[in-house]
Amino acid sequence: MKREAICFTAEEVLQRGKSDIPSELLSGNNLVYSSPATLAYNSPGAEGFGVKRAGLSVPESIMLIVAPGCCGRNTSLISSMPEYKNRFFYLEMSEPDLVTGRHLNKIPDAIKEVLEFLRDNGKKIPKVVMICITCVDALLGTDMDRVCRKAEDALTGGEFEGIKVRPCYMYALTREGRRPPMVHVRQTIYSLLEPMEKDARSVNIIGGFAPLENTELAGYLKLAGIRNIRQISTCKTYEEFLQMASANFNIVIDPEVRAAAEDMNKNLGIPYIELTRVYSTDKISSQYKALASVTGIDIDDGEEKAEAEEAIVRLKNKYPDLKFNVGECANANAFELALSLVRMGFKVDEIYATLAPENFVYVKNLALLSPDTKIYCNMEPTMLYYKISQSDADVTVGKDAKFYCPDTPNVAWNQDTRPFGYQGVRDLMNKIYDALEEAKA
Amino acid sequence: MKGLRKVLTPFAPDQSGASGVLYSMGALIVIIDAGGCTGNVCGFDEPRWHESRSAVFSAGLRDMDAILGRDELLASKIGSAVERIDTSFVAVIGTPVPATIGTDYKALKKLIEGKVDIPVVPVVSNGMKLYNEGEKEAYKALIDEFATDTPEVETGQLVIGMTPLTYGKDYIDLTLDDIKNIRGAKKLVAASASGIDACEYLGKEFEIFSPVFKNSIPEGIKGKTLVCHDEVVGKTLRDAGVNCDIATFFKLHDSVKQDGDKKITQEDEFIEMVRDGGYDTIAADICLKELVPDYEGNWVDLKCFAISGRT
């Protein structure tokens, strides 16, 4: 037995072609190894903004997790954060519930009891109750929309009338389906918005659950006369959140919110434009040109582009032969980032990421510039045997890369807030520079 | 309402207990889930995961795998992993998904054994029971598969049930050789509820005590005390002279239970015990204090990983 992690070079992947991506690099073909990266992948509620935190991004909301105890176990990691205090509640399913489905009948009373508990303890009464259900109900075929309507009806005529009840599907089983959990939860959230008069000077940035970092995008919109730039994470109240329905258009910054954007287009008459987070300054420039063209606003990105490119040059001048390992547990598409780094003139030794077919285009270009770059799949079972001695990288990007290369300077780059555009490039370059300087010191 | 938690987060489930027992035995551990349960085990309920790698895998089930009962696909995935991972046996651990679709674990064992030439140990768990039940099932499955009636090696004392979920950093691992020779052990010690269950299953004489607390009463315990932890922790403190009642969210065996002791399930039952018991001291994980904010007596923080996730 070899006891070593399986990998493929970019060139090998290119030679096999998009229709023959090695099964070891794809998800769903093998047992799934539990590395830190797959933990985030594995557990839709565990790390970053999974379904649970995402559901609670609606201001003045609480969540009732209706599931076997195991599904809510790791929520204590989240509920210890001050902003989630008194916002998570649990209705634990028992074995008889599994057979009879009676847990669904308990939901209206459970909601009432939770609301009374909050009232009696002087806590704020929520505007929305999210009901989080898991794989069991996916298999039972539970009609959760109906269950939520029934729960809302049960509040009618009482002191809690008007509180919305909505489903959140933490269905890990459907991750690669048509509506994966993180797509669905975004649809649920924005389904709360109701039609209202449009404000030509309002725009929503949707997709994230934490604010964009201080990017140039907001500046461009303001210069174009946009007065209200709303993100769900910056809405302090439910009323403020509802104002998102007045937007003139949506800027989609994450493909997982595309379905919700389509819904908003259909139901609220809000069109959308999609911007992707990339680390190539030329691509960023093209995107801003497209945004300007579609929306009819003027965007002069010369200064910000120059700043980002200066940061690249500063790093390149100080560390001309820098070699990277890049992970997927970061605010970047690992393949796009790797390609951008190579185009900047750096080297990329290893990538740790699942190769979805839509990322093949990056590997194709990478193979032409850096054919020996090795691609590992975080989830592949033999990653158990990955040893740092295999790589001589100078620096790593991504939390998962840190796990595999513990002694190499690392920029985790997995903060909740979202880097974007030139700001993302500039700050990442500076962080890498600082990490290397710190390691040297 | 029964099953409703307004303050506490859920406790460690049976699948975490099963995984904890198997973690150090060199098995290829496969949790039959879509990924979330494995994430819970590795990212939360297994403190050793951050320090030492172990072959814990998710089956990576998808909806159609579960709906169509694709056990053959699962067996193939396991067979493929066994070809590439150095392991002495395969353990498969149940979750709510196989519980919902009614997986036949005996048949699954046979199916997987058809693909690999090493033993397969299925542990029946469903994510709805508590960790001690999963530990018990894991011990039973290991004993059934590996424990010999005539051990070749003589073993001294074996402590059963001293896992991280009960004892945090003070755990004692059992090896596969320990299990093989368990019937020949000179002395068996049950250190937790699952330890008692395992010893009873073996049908051998055993002692019940916690090696951590046997000669070490936590500082600060005084007067009439309520110990809320695993039953063996409570019993050990009682045997050491602490005037206490035992409350446990986990199992309370008749061999441990005395008047005043109670197996509790709901948050309200703990609140009632504290309110009506007149205790000078509560010895329990500090996270439980949130249930009784008005309690003015003495509180000794007796960490329990299965409750709070603190080591």
Question: Over the stretch A97-152, which tens digit does the pLDDT of each residue have?
Answer: 999 999 999 999 999 999 999 999 999 999 999 999 999 999 999 999 999 999 99
Whether residue A92 and residue B86 make contact (CB cut-off 8 A), yes or no, is no
* DSSP summary character for residue B195: H
Residue whose structure tokens are 């074995």: A95
Residue whose structure tokens are 């058809």: B114
Q: Say if residue B157 is exposed, middle or buried (CB neighbours under 10 Å; 0-12, 13-18, 19+).
A: exposed
Closest CA–CA distance from residue B29 to any residue of chain A (Å): 10
Whether residue B63 and residue A32 make contact (CB cut-off 8 A), yes or no, is no
Closest CA–CA distance from residue B222 to any residue of chain A (Å): 30
- Residue B224 pLDDT: 98
Boundary of a domain, candidates A229, A259, A275: A275
Whether residue A34 and residue B60 make contact (CB cut-off 8 A), yes or no, is no
The answer to whether residue A284 is domain-embedded is no
If asked whether residues A165 and A213 sit together in one domain, one would say no
If asked whether residues A249 and A341 sit together in one domain, one would say no
Residue whose structure tokens are 């604010």: A211
Whether residue A73 and residue B10 make contact (CB cut-off 8 A), yes or no, is yes
Find, in chain B, the residue whose alpha carbon is nearest to that of A4.
B84
In chain B, which residues have their Cβ closer than 8 Å to the Cβ of A114? Answer: 4, 6
- Return the minimum-mean-pLDDT range out of A166-180, A373-387, B278-292: A166-180
Sign for the CA dihedral angle at B29, B34, B37, B43 comes to positive
* DSSP summary character for residue A67: E
* DSSP summary character for residue A10: H
pLDDT tens, residue order, chain B (311 aa): 999 999 999 999 999 999 999 999 999 999 999 888 998 898 889 988 877 778 999 999 988 888 888 999 999 999 999 999 999 999 999 999 999 999 999 999 999 999 999 999 999 999 999 999 999 999 999 999 999 998 878 889 999 999 999 999 999 999 999 999 999 999 999 999 999 999 999 999 999 999 999 989 999 999 999 999 999 999 999 999 999 999 999 999 999 999 999 999 999 999 999 999 999 999 999 999 999 999 999 999 999 999 999 88
If asked whether residues A249 and A373 sit together in one domain, one would say no
In chain A, which residues have their Cβ closer than 8 Å to the Cβ of B91? Answer: none
> Rounded to whole angstroms, what are the CA distances from A406 to A5, A172, A353, A400, B280?
17, 30, 17, 10, 48
- Residue A46 pLDDT: 46
Q: How far apart are CA B291 and CA B247, in angstroms?
A: 14
- Residue B45 pLDDT: 93
- Residue A37 pLDDT: 64
- Please report the number of interchain residue pairs, chain A to chain B, with beta-carbon separation below 8 angstroms: 218
Find, in chain A, the residue whose alpha carbon is nearest to that of B1.
A110
- Going from N- to C-terminal start, the domains of chain B cover 14-135, 225-308
Which of B9, B49, B56 faces A72 most closely, judged by CB atoms?
A: B9
* DSSP summary character for residue B298: E
List pLDDT tens digits, range A34-90: 776 666 655 444 457 889 999 999 999 999 999 999 999 988 878 888 899 999 999
One-letter amino acid of A156: T
Whether residue B128 and residue A93 make contact (CB cut-off 8 A), yes or no, is yes
The answer to whether residue A20 is domain-embedded is yes
The answer to whether residue A146 is domain-embedded is yes
Nearest to A260 by CA among A187, A178, A189: A187
Q: How far apart are CA B102 and CA A46, in angstroms?
A: 27
In chain B, which residues have their Cβ closer than 8 Å to the Cβ of A92? Answer: 3-5, 10, 128
Q: Tell me which fold the domain B225-308 belongs to.
A: Rossmann fold (3.40.50)
| SS3 (DSSP) at B242 | coil
Can you name the residues that pair with A265 across neighbouring β-strands? none
If asked whether residues A23 and A52 sit together in one domain, one would say no
If asked whether residues A55 and A21 sit together in one domain, one would say no
Structural domain span for residue A67: 48-175
pLDDT at A416 over 90: no
The answer to whether residue A141 is domain-embedded is yes
pLDDT at A307 over 50: yes
Q: How far apart are CA B223 and CA A246, in angstroms?
A: 64
If asked whether residues A376 and A265 sit together in one domain, one would say no
pLDDT grade for A251, boundaries at 50, 70 and 90:
very high
Return the exposure string of A311-345: e unless at least 16 CB atoms fall within 10 Å of the residue's CB, then b.
Answer: bbeebeeebeebbbbbbbbbbbbbbbbbbbbbbbe
In chain B, which residues have their Cβ closer than 8 Å to the Cβ of A175? Answer: 34-35, 62
Count of domains for chain A: 3
What is the distance of C-alpha A196 from the center of its chain?
28
If asked whether residues A433 and A315 sit together in one domain, one would say yes
- Residue A44 pLDDT: 43
The answer to whether residue A389 is domain-embedded is yes
Please check whether the two domains, B14-135 and B225-308, share a CATH topology: yes
If asked whether residues A264 and A306 sit together in one domain, one would say no
User: Residue B292 — φ and ψ, nearest 5°?
Assistant: -130, 65
- The answer regarding whether domain B14-135 maps to CATH 1.20.870.10 reads no
In this structure, which long-range contacts are made by residues A183-187, counting pairs with CB atoms below 8 Å and at least 24 apart in sequence? A183/A256, A183/A257, A183/A258, A183/A259, A183/A260, A185/A51, A185/A54, A185/A55, A186/A54, A186/A256, A186/A257, A186/A259, A186/A260, A187/A259, A187/A260, A187/A263
pLDDT grade for A176, boundaries at 50, 70 and 90:
confident
Whether residue B96 and residue A34 make contact (CB cut-off 8 A), yes or no, is no
- Residue A38 pLDDT: 64
Sign for the CA dihedral angle at A183, A232, A40, A408 comes to positive
Interface mutation vs chain B, best among A4, A31, A179, A376, most B CBs within 10 Å: A31
Q: Structure pTM?
A: 0.94
Q: How far apart are CA A391 and CA B106, in angstroms?
A: 44
Boundary of a domain, candidates A259, A275, A291: A275
List pLDDT tens digits, range A27-36: 778 999 877 6
- Residue A4 pLDDT: 87
Q: How far apart are CA A435 and CA B74, in angstroms?
A: 43
The enclosing domain of A244 has a CATH number of 3.40.50.1980
Nearest to B61 by CA among A335, A284, A31, A377: A31
